[in-house]
Structure 1
Amino acid sequence: MNGPLSTLKILDFSTLLPGPFASLLLADMGAEVLRVESPSRMDLVRVLPPHDGGVSASHAYLNRNKRGMALDLKQAAAVAVVKQLVSEYDIVLEQFRPGVMDKLGVGYAALSAINPRLIYVSITGYGQTGPYKDRAGHDINYLALSGIASYTGRRDSGPLPLGIQAADIAGGSLHGVIGLLAAVIQRQATGLGQQVDISMTDCAFGLHGLAGAGYLAAGVEPELENQALNGGSFYDYYRSRDGRWFAVGSLEPAFMQLLCAAIERPELASRGLSQRPEDQQALKAQIQLEFEKRDFADWRERFAALDACVEPMLSLAEAVEHPQLQARGLVTQVPRGDHPPQAQIACPIKFSAGLPAPRHIGAALGAHTEEVLRELGYAAEQIAQLRADKVVA
C-alpha cells in the first residue's frame, strides 16, 4: 500500500512545529519526505522533553516516516547536493525568515531555474512581504496580532494561552499542506511549479470565520464572552460537584429540551432562545447551579444515554481510552528499530483504500545522508571527503 500521495517527493528544510507537522501529514499519506537539517544548528524539538528511550517523544512523532539528511548549507558543496536533489524532489518545504534561503543559494529563484516544476512552500510568521516580514514571533504573537486572542478568554481574567498551537498548526501546517496540494493540482495542468507563501498570522486571521464575517459585513466587534460561541451564551463549560467539567453545546431547541430535562429544569428550555446577554448570563447561572448538585460520574452516565450535545471534558489520558477514539484507530504503534514500538497519534485522515503502515519514528540526525548521496551517484570516496570537510553528517 503506497498511499494517495506516493508520487510526491518533498525536501523538508523546516524545524520546530509548523513545517514538520505539515510534512508528517504528507509522509503519513505516502509522500516521500527527505528532511534536511543543519549538522551544527540543532532542531530544538530533538531535545524537547519528555523523552522515551533517550529520544524526544515530540521529535519521534513529528518526524516519523521521513528520511533524514544533514547538510551544512553554508558550504557550496552542500548547495550543489540540494541542486541535484531538486531534479527529483520537486517540492520544497521551508520555514526560514524571508531571504535566508536566497542568501544560502537555495531560494525559489535559484532552484526553480533548475527545475521549473518546482513547488516551493514557505511557512513564516508574517509572510514574504509587509513591514513585519523579518520580525520574530511565536504562536501566541500571531494569535494576538490576528485578533483571535481578543475574544478568546474570560472578561474577568482576560485572554488565555491555548492548549495547542493554533496559529502554528491550523495556520501554518494545515494551510501549508492545502497550498502545496493545490499547487500540485495546478502543476498537473500547466507543467509549472510556483512558490506558496504561507503566513501563520494571515492564516490565523483567516480562521475568524463567523466572527470575522460579522465584523466585516455588519460591524459587530467580537469581544470576550460577547459571542454565542465564546462564552456569551449558555454554550459553555460547567463544573460538576467534584470539580470536573462538562461541555454544553445544546444550541438547537430539541437538544436544549433534552439538556434541561436531564438537569431536571425543563422550564429553562425556552430561555435558551433569548438573544439578550443578561438573559443568557442568568440562564448560565441556573445551569451551573444544577451541575453542582451531582458528581462527574453521575452526570457522565446520565448524558451518555442522551443525544443532547453534552459531553464530559476529558483529560488526554481519558481521551486515549474513549471508545469513539479507539474505534477510529487514533493511536498507532510505530516501529523504532530494535526497541519495542512507540505509541503515537495516528494520521487522522481516513481513506477507503487505506494508508501505509507507519515505517519508523523520527530518525537520528543525518541517518540517511550516505544513502541519499549514493542514490545521487556519489562514490564512497566522495562521501568520505564530504564528511571530512563537514559538509554532511
Structure 2
Amino acid sequence: MKGPLASLKILDFSTLLPGPFASLLLADMGAEVLRVESPSRMDLVRVLPPHDDGVSASHAYLNRNKRSIALDLKRPEAVEVVKQLVREYDIVLEQFRPGVMDKLGVGYEALKAINPKLIYVSITGYGQTGPYRDRAGHDINYLALAGVASYTGRRDTGPLPLGVQLADLGGGSLHGVMGLLAAVIHRQHTGEGQQVDVSMTDCAFSLNGMAGAGYLACGVEPDMENQALNGGSFYDYYRTRDGRWFSVGSLEPQFMQQFCAVIGHPELAARGLSLKAEDQQALKREIAVAFEKRDFADWCERFAAVDACVEPMLPLSEAVEHPQIQARGLVVEVPRGDGRKQRQMACPIRFSAGLPEPKHIGAAVGEHSAEVLHELGYSEAQVAELKAAKVIA
C-alpha cells in the first residue's frame, strides 16, 4: 500500500513545527519526503524534551517517515546537490524568512530555471510581502496581531496562551498542505509550477471565522466573554466537586433540556435561550453550583448515556485510552530502528483504501545523506570527499 500521495516527492527545508507538521501529514499519506538539514545548525525540536532514550519525542513524531540529508548550503557543492535533487523532487517546502533561500542560491527563481514544473511552498510568519515580511515571530505573536487573542480569554485575567499552536498548525501547516495540493492539481491540468506564499498571520486572521465576519459586515467588535462561544454564555467549562472539569455545549433546545434534567434543574432549560448577557452569566453561576455538588466520576456516569453535548475534560493520559480514540486507531506503534517501537499519534485522515504503515520515527541528521547521493549517481569516493570537506554529514 503506497497511499494517495505516493506520486509526490518533496524536499523539506523546514524546521521546528509548522513545516515539519505539514510534511508529516504528506509523508503519512504516502509522499516521499526528504528533509534537507544543516549539518551544523540543529533543528531545535531535536533537543526538545521529553526524550525517549535520548531522542526527542516531538522530533520523532513530527519527522516520521522522512529521510534526512545534511547539506551545508553555504557551500556551492551542496547547492549543486539541491539543484540535482529538484529534477526529481519537484516540490519544495521551506520556512526561512523571505530572501534567505535566494541568498543561498536555492530560491524559487533559481530552482524554477532547472525545473519549470517546480512547486515551491514558502511558510513564513508574515508572508513574502508587507512591512512585517522580515520580522521575527512566534505563534502567540501571530494570534495577537490577527485579532484572535483579543476575544480568547477571561476579562479578569486576559488572553490565554493556548496549549496548541493554532497559528503554526492550523495556519502554517494545514494551509501549507492545502496550498501545496492545490498547486499540484493546477500543475496536473496545466503543466505549470508556481510558488505558494503561506503566511501564518494571514491564516490566523482567516480563522476569526464568525467573529471576523460579524465585525467586517456589521461592525460588532468581539471581546472576551461577550460571545456565545467564548465564555459569554453557558457554553463553557465547569468545575466538579473534586476539582476536575466538564465541557457544556448544549446550545440547541433539545440538548439543553436533557442537560438541565441531568443536573436536576429542568427549569433552567428555557433560560438557555436568552440572549441577554446578564441572564447568561446568572445561568452560568447556577450551573457552576450544580456541578460543584458532585464528583467527576459521578457526572461521567450520569452523562454517559445522555446525548446533550456534554463531555468530560480529559488529560492526555486519559484521552489516549478513551474508547473513541482507540476505536479510531489514533495511536500507532512506529518502528524506532533498533527493533523496538514508539507510540505516536496516527495520521488523523482515514481513507477507504487505507494508508501505508508508518516506516520509522524521525531520522538522525544526515542519516540518509550517502544513500540519497548514491541515488543521484555519486560514487563512494565522491561521497567520501564531500564528507571530508564537511559539505555533507
Deviation at 1:308, TM superposition (A): 0.3
Matched, 1:207 2:207: yes
Q: Which residue of 1 aligns with 2:142?
A: 142
Q: Work out whether 1:259 is the aligned partner of 2:271.
A: no
* Superimposed CA distance per residue, residues 299-338 of structure 1 (whole angstroms, 9 cap, x where no aligned partner): 0110011000000000000000100000000000000112
Amino acid at match of 1:256: M
Match of 1:368 in 2: 368
Alignment of structure 1 residues 238-387 onto 2, 5 Å: 238-387=238-387
What is the DSSP-based 3-state SS (H/G/I as helix, E as strand, rest coil) of the residue aligned with 2:340?
A: strand
TM-score by length of 1: 1.00
- Tell me the secondary structure at the aligned position of residue 178 of structure 1: helix
Q: What is the aligned partner in structure 2 of residue 184 from structure 1?
A: 184
Question: What is the rounded CA distance, in whole Å, between the counterparts of 2:340 and 2:195 in structure 1?
Answer: 41
Determine whether 1:166 maps to 2:182.
Answer: no
Partner of 1:392: 392
| CA displacement, residues 18-47 of structure 1 (integer Å, 9 cap, x when unaligned) | 000000000000000000000010000111
Structure 1, residues 234-287: CA drift from partner, whole Å, max 9, x if none?
Answer: 000011111110000000000000000001100000001110000000110111
Gaps of 5+ in 2: none
Measured in 2, the distance between the counterparts of 1:44 and 1:268 equals 52
Write the mapping of 1:224-243 to structure 2, written as runs, cut at 5 A.
224-243=224-243
In structure 2, distance between residues paired with 1:322 and 1:216: 41
Q: Counterparts in 2 of 1:74-223, with a 5 A limit?
A: 74-223=74-223
1-side partners of 2:332 and 2:258: how far apart? 36
Q: Which residue of 1 is the match for residue 10 of structure 2?
A: 10
What is the letter of the counterpart of residue 307 of structure 2? D
Partner of 1:34: 34
1:64 has 2:64 as partner: yes
- Name the SS for the 2:113 alignment partner: helix
- CA drift at 1:339: 3.8
CA distance in 2, matches of 1:162, 1:308: 26
Equivalents in 2 of 1:82, 1:29: separation in Å?
24
Aligned to 2:356, the other structure's residue is in SS state coil
Which whole-Å deviations, capped at 9, do the CAs of 1:111-142 have from their partners, x for residues lacking one?
Answer: 01110100000000000000000000000000
Aligned to 2:25: 25
Identity within the alignment, %: 80
CA distance in 1 between counterparts of 2:268 and 2:285 reads: 11
Distance 2:227 2:368 in 1: 51
Letter in 2 for 1:245: W
Mapped to 2, the partners of 1:380 and 1:340 lie a distance apart of 31
Amino acid corresponding to residue 250 of structure 1 in structure 2: S
Distance 2:81 2:21 in 1: 25
* AA aligned opposite 1:366: G
User: Partners in 2 of 1:92 and 1:390 — Cα distance?
Assistant: 24
- CA distance, structure 2, for counterparts of residue 318 and residue 336 of structure 1: 25
Shift of 1:345: 0.3
Q: Give the whole-Å Cα distance in 1 for the aligned partners of 2:163 and 2:49.
A: 17
Residues 332-377 of structure 1 deviation map (CA, whole Å, 9 limit, x = unaligned)? 0000112410000000000000000000000011000000000000
Task: Specify the SS of the correspondent of 1:285.
Answer: helix
Taking only aligned residues, the RMSD between alpha carbons, in angstroms, comes to 0.5
Distance (Å, rounded) in 1 between the aligned partners of 2:80 and 2:31: 24
1:53 counterpart letter in structure 2: D
Secondary structure at 1:321 match in 2: coil
* Structure 1: unaligned runs, 5 residues or longer: none
- Partner SS for 1:114: coil
* Cα distance in 1 between the residues matched to 2:192 and 2:85: 18
In structure 2, distance between residues paired with 1:200 and 1:337: 34
Q: How many residues align?
A: 393
- Where does structure 1 differ by over 2 angstroms across 4 or more consecutive aligned residues? none
Q: Distance in 1 between matches of 2:338 and 2:21?
A: 26
